[in-house]
Each structure stands twice: as structure tokens, then as C-alpha cells.
Amino acid sequence: MFRRTDLADLESFIAIARSGGFRKAAVIRGVSGSALSHAMRGLEARLGVRLFHRTSRSISLTAAGEMLLLELEPHFSGIQGAIDLLDSFRSGLAGRVRVTTLRDAACLLIAPRMPSFRRMYPEVEIEVSVDDRFVDMVAEGFDAGIRYGGTVPEGMIASRLTPELDWVVVGSPAYLNQRGRPEQPRDLMSHECIRIRTGTDRVYKWELGKGDRMVALDVPGSLVLGDSELSIRMAEEGCGLFYCLKARVEESVAAGTLEIVLPDWPSPGPGFHAYYVSHRQVPSALRTFLDHLKAPIALQV
């Protein structure tokens, strides 16, 4: 006899199969890995077949598991699709969205688009926490996070928000007139550099160029900061060279308070990505907010 709990266990089965492990699926489902493992053993016992091959290091689907996954996924997708269609019957989009984001994304992505989102969806409550450190999104109750592609926490669903972003080295004209302008990346090793303390608590190497021409330098410098806003200000004040997103300093470069060093050596990096725990559990308000962040500002009202 089919039980109500079987539905939740079957959805967990899909999450485990698609994520490739209990630990990743546990993050997606918001439960412990041991709870998922226990649920799957119970489901296998009730169904009378083994769904997973288990070893100490990995799991894989049995033939029965592969068949069940193939049959189940379209039905669960159909259920979510039907629920999504209910949005068209609501008088207006509402709800609460809590997002944790990097400061660079807050400045370059969220701030320019927030006014138009507020005008279009006044009933949606938005809470944005700006923090460059890694945050346990599930434990702290966030609906989504925004980070650079390639740094999204393992087990999360990632969605690209922007194309690749260029990174450059900048310095104030006063500093460069005094210390000289680097002509090659290796010249940075004789300069005072404002180094970056990342959200993983490590000092970041500066990457210049791309492809076979890309170099990574552990630059010297007695000033180590974890905030790009403060670092840019210090660079403008002549405290040293700084490595940052080109988009963060366009106004300063145009105003003449900073200039790009080694202009032939920009380094493209992954753009901003949103991440969250499940495709099927993305609330309408969150989905609309993330779609709004993807749209060019010129297309927003």
C-alpha cells in the first residue's frame, strides 16, 4: 500500500540520484545525511528492491533505481509545473525573500536593479545580507545566496546571473608617478600591493591574463583587507595597487582618481551566480527576484 511518507521519500530518492550522494542531497533537502540514508533503506524495504549500490566512498543506482528515476522525474516535474501555474491566478506577487550576497554583487548587481523591482513588486519583502564570508545559507535561514561561479557551496543548485567579469589592477596616479608603472605582471612583485582576504579566510593570488597567458602572483604588501570598498578607497589614497573587478572602479577611472595598471592583462573570471537548495522548491517571489537580477537594466521599468 502506498503511504503518504513514500512521496517524500521518493522525492529524496530523486535528489540523491541527481546529486550523487547522501551528503549533497541532505543539503538540498535540509536534513541530515543519516536521516536520508535511513529513509532510503526503509523505502527499499517497502518496495522490495535495492535502489542503490553503496560503498564506503560512493553510491550508484542499481538497474531498478535507474528505471525508477526515469519514471518518476517527469511526474514530479509535472506536479511542480502545475503548482507554478497557480501564480497566474494570484492578484499580485507577494512573499519574503532573504538573500546573502557578496559586497561586489550588492553594489554591481542588486543596487542598480532594486528600485525597479520595488516598483514592480511592492508586496514582496526583500532582505539582503551583505557578507563576503561564506555563510551556511540553510542554517541561517536564507532563501538564496549570490557568489562568483566556481565558489558556490557544494550540493547547491547554481544559476548564472551575469556573464564573465574582468579583473584588473588599479592604482592612483600619485602612487604610480612615484613608484613607476608596471610593464609586465612580474613587475608587481616590487610594488606595494593591497592584498585581499577572501571569504574562505585565505589571501588571494592575483590572476592576470587568460588561457595559456594567465599568471597567478602571490603579490607582496603589508596591507591586507577583506572589503573591496575599503580597498578601493585605500588605492585612491595612494596606499598601493589593488586587484578588483573592472566594473567596481569604472567611475574612479573615469574621474581620474585611479588608473588601470597593465591594461593589456585583464583576467576574465566567472560571473555572479545565485545558489539555492532545490529546483522544485524555489518560491515564486525568489524566482522572480533572481530573474530580475538577470535582466539588463535598460529593459527594466
Q: How far apart are CA 172 and CA 179, in angstroms?
A: 11
Return the pLDDT at 301.
44
Return the pLDDT at 200.
66
Q: How far apart are CA 204 and CA 195, in angstroms?
A: 7
Look at phi and psi of residue 201 and say left if phi exceeds 0, alpha if psi is from -120 to 50, else beta: left
Look at phi and psi of residue 296 and say left if phi exceeds 0, alpha if psi is from -120 to 50, else beta: beta
Helix, strand, coil shares of the chain, percent, nearest 5, are: 45, 20, 35
Q: How far apart are CA 22 and CA 284, in angstroms?
A: 27
Q: What angle do CA 254, 258, 261 make, to 5 degrees?
A: 110
Tens-place pLDDT, residues 129-177: 998 888 887 778 888 999 998 888 777 888 999 999 999 999 999 999 9
Q: Is the pLDDT of residue 299 over 60?
A: no
Tens-place pLDDT, residues 1-26: 556 667 888 888 888 887 778 877 77
Can you give the C-alpha Rg of the chain in angstroms? 24
Tens-place pLDDT, residues 82-98: 666 666 555 567 788 99
Name the pLDDT band for 240 (thresholds 50, 70, 90).
very high
Q: How far apart are CA 146 and CA 276, in angstroms?
A: 9
Is pTM beyond 0.75? Reply is no
Mean pLDDT of the chain: 86
Greater pLDDT, 281 or 6 = 6
Write phi, then psi, for 159 (nearest 5 degrees): -135, 120
> Which three three-digit cell numbers place residue 80?
511542480
Q: What angle do CA 264, 265, 266 make, to 5 degrees?
A: 110
Asked if 215 and 208 count as a contact pair (C-beta separation under 8 A), the reply is yes
Q: How far apart are CA 125 and CA 94, in angstroms?
A: 8
Q: How far apart are CA 226 and CA 147, in angstroms?
A: 15
- SS3 label, residue 28: helix
Q: Is the pLDDT of residue 107 over 60?
A: yes
Greater pLDDT, 34 or 268 = 268
Return the pLDDT at 213.
87
